[in-house]
Structure 1
Amino acid sequence: MSALIIRDATLDDLQFIAALGDADEVTAARDPLRKDHAVQMRDGFMAITSDPNHRLLIAERNGGRVGSFQLSFIPGVSRRGAWRGQIESVRVAAEFRSQGIGEEMVRWAIAQCEARDCCIVQLTSDRQREAAHRFYERLGFEPSHTGFKLKPD
């Protein structure tokens, strides 16, 4: 098995990223398809790639795409002005799960945060994802906050 390669996503990767989300029951239930979702995804991609504090990433192994995630660097004034690393939307294609790919992706993201002198690396995980919670805890993450969300009309 070859090493995992992590690279910045291109517009050509959007369909793969969308398919990862569509194949996930929690995501599919939470984010129903809209007729303009392709436009929204492209706009989101452009916003991410135009900001040096955000990266949309693809994981490849043996020349094929196996996963995706987003990594953001967030400035703040709390913690004495320290930066935070935010890992989002970690997804591995079903046929490649349980091969250590997710762990490699997250450890890579943590290393990027350390290189940017982030004081904390954070992520959120839907409360339904008990296996994901065990995975993140095994990697050293601790549940620390209760999250709240509001969907504006």
Structure 2
Amino acid sequence: MANEVVFRSATEQDLERIVEMLADDKLGATREQFALPLPEVYREAFRAIDADPNNELVVACLGEEVVGVQQITFTPYLTHQGGWRATVEGVRTSSTVRGKGIGTELINWAIQRAEQRGCHLIQLTTDKTREDAIRFYERLGFQATHEGMKMKLK
């Protein structure tokens, strides 16, 4: 396995590995369905993300192995004088490399990408029960400045 992390756009061939990582934690196991063959809804979602110029699904690779994933959505706003924001979602690293700096590299890559796209702000959410994740994001400079609210529709 190579030591350098390489970032690239995800391909449809990466989907099985991506869903496997998304499902490989306490919360993900309750909402994802990692089964082979992969449920078609994941392919449909991938194609929608891939077709949208304001969405990027990025994988982190060590050699040929996909060891991390994140989705970045770029959104224009009227607030902040028409500024753009980047929202980071679905950040996961493989359980085989957790604690080795891959997550930090993923988020730093997202910050640089947001700057390249002219965003004035980068934001993310994490479940309140993910105390380790909250500490991780705070170490990287994120602050809990707002109270997030959600409503489940289905």
Q: Could you tell me the TM-score, scaled by structure 1's length?
A: 0.93
The residue aligned with 1:136 is: 137
CA offset digits 1:60-101 (Å, max 9, x no partner): 013211111101111110111100011111100001011100
Does the CA contact (< 8 Å) of 2:56 and 2:71 recur in 1?
A: yes
The residue type paired with residue 45 of structure 1 is: F
CA offset digits 1:4-40 (Å, max 9, x no partner): 10111111111101111221111222x1539997221
Q: Which runs of 5+ in 2 are unaligned?
A: none
**Alpha-carbon distance in structure 1 between the residues aligned to 2:17 and 2:3:** 21
**Alpha-carbon distance in structure 2 between the residues aligned to 1:2 and 1:111:** 21
The residue type paired with residue 52 of structure 1 is: P
The residue aligned with 2:147 is: 146
Q: Which runs of 5+ in 1 are unaligned?
A: none
**Alpha-carbon distance in structure 2 between the residues aligned to 1:138 and 1:43:** 35
Does the CA contact (< 8 Å) of 2:20 and 2:34 recur in 1?
A: no
Cα deviation for residue 145 of structure 1 reads: 1.3
What is the root-mean-square deviation in Å for CA atoms of aligned residues? 1.8
Number of equivalences: 152
Name the one with the larger helix percent.
Answer: 1
Would you identify which runs of 4 or more consecutive aligned residues in structure 1 move more than 4 Å? 34-37
Identical aligned residues as a percent: 38
The residue aligned with 1:109 is: 110
SS of alignment partner, residue 14 of structure 2: helix
